[in-house]
Amino acid sequence: MRLGRWIILLGVAGVAAGIGWFAGGRPLPFDLANREPSVQRRAPTGPTAPVVRVATVRAGDLPVQLDALGTAQAYNSVVVSSRVDGQLIRINFREGQDVKEGDLLAQIDPRAFQALLDQAIAKRAQDQAQLDNAKRDLERYGALIQQNYASRQQYDTTKAQVAQIEATLKADEAAIASARTQLSYTNIVAPISGRLGLRLVDAGNIVRANDTTGIVVITQLQPISVVFSLPQQRMPDIARKMRAGEKLEIRALRGDGSGLETGVVEFVDNQVDATTGTIKLKAVFPNESFELWPGSFVNVRLRIDTVRDGLLIPSSAVQFGPEGTFAFVVGEGMVVQMRPIKPVQSDGDVTAVTGRISVGEKVVLGGQDRLRAGSAVTVSGDGAPGAGAPAGRPPGAGGAGGAGRRPPS
């Protein structure tokens, strides 16, 4: 009888466990050991307000700037070559030296050219003596023909000889000028100011006027050019500025984004590259610090316009939805609202917008995927767009001004 009673109790306990399991893990109505109602103890649960970063909407001017990658090029580059044939007897420069226009760089043996000049001068003296004699004969025949002691033919012949010798003298003057020019070419001077490269020929070698190697290359570094490309869609704005006579200001940037040099756009190509859909531009920089070097890649930022008195918010606050762009604005009671906006111009981290927002309101910078209209939030930081962020934070991510603020209880 006692064994049968235990079997019945175990059967009742199994049925109760099965009912609890099928009911979704609900607790048993009775504790089998104590036969008393069990008490369910669970930690209270409920939604917590997400923590977000915000920035204050401000009014200001936003420069419309275009970023591009360019290549620095020498403003002028000249291969210094010999203009006459001869032996190079002297090198008057050091590699890497800065030279000015007209500085003597090298010298070719001038003796053969000096001899040609002396020969041309002597030929002119000889012809000058013949001209003087012919002029005296012309004067004598002119006096004799008046007294019928000389024929008209002799007078005309002598006059023609004078004219012929005068023409010969002009050819002699040209020969002297040519010989003097050839002699001057034995002194090889710098045609432009700039910095010298490697010496390509040593003293003692024979150089020729048709050599393509040259003696040295001079590169002008001040000023220096930077060639870069922009999308063709930006060409109307650039063309409008240039037609108005405005100078397009451009900045060269270091690798960390800091300003390096400021210059102006000097040239816009006359056609668009059909393969890339871009157009080439050339800017000129003074390069006072010699940080721009020919052949190096340079980040440039071209300013083509300015948005005046726009509503500025961080670009990360701009959201895209089925009905267009919007931003989450933190309102009263730390509750967010969805406000429709329209981006006007973006400059990287800062965007100028129009729409249903006002100066001084707070827009959410991150964590928007967890928000809905009417969501309560906790603010962790507050910063103005474009005001500069602390190290380690993206621009516009907020500063310490609103750190630790919580919604009112």
CATH code of the region 65-75+217-306: 2.40.30.170
Q: Parse the chain into domains and list their residue ranges.
A: 1-39, 65-75+217-306, 82-102+190-212, 110-185
Predicted confidence at residue 259, as pLDDT, reads 77
pLDDT of residue 280: 94
pLDDT at 395 over 50: no
Across residues 391-402, what is the average pLDDT? 35
The Cβ-side half-sphere exposure at 318, using a 13 Å CA radius, reads 23
Structure confidence by residue, pLDDT tens digits, 48-90 = 778 888 899 999 888 888 889 999 999 999 999 999 999 999 9
The predicted-structure confidence for 191-233, as pLDDT tens digits, reads as follows: 999 999 999 999 999 999 988 899 999 999 999 999 999 999 8
CATH of the domain spanning 110-185? 1.10.287
pLDDT digits (tens, 9 = 90+) for 254-273: 877 777 889 999 999 989 99
pLDDT of residue 408: 37
Give this prediction's pTM. Answer: 0.62
pLDDT at 282: 95
What pLDDT is attached to residue 96? 93
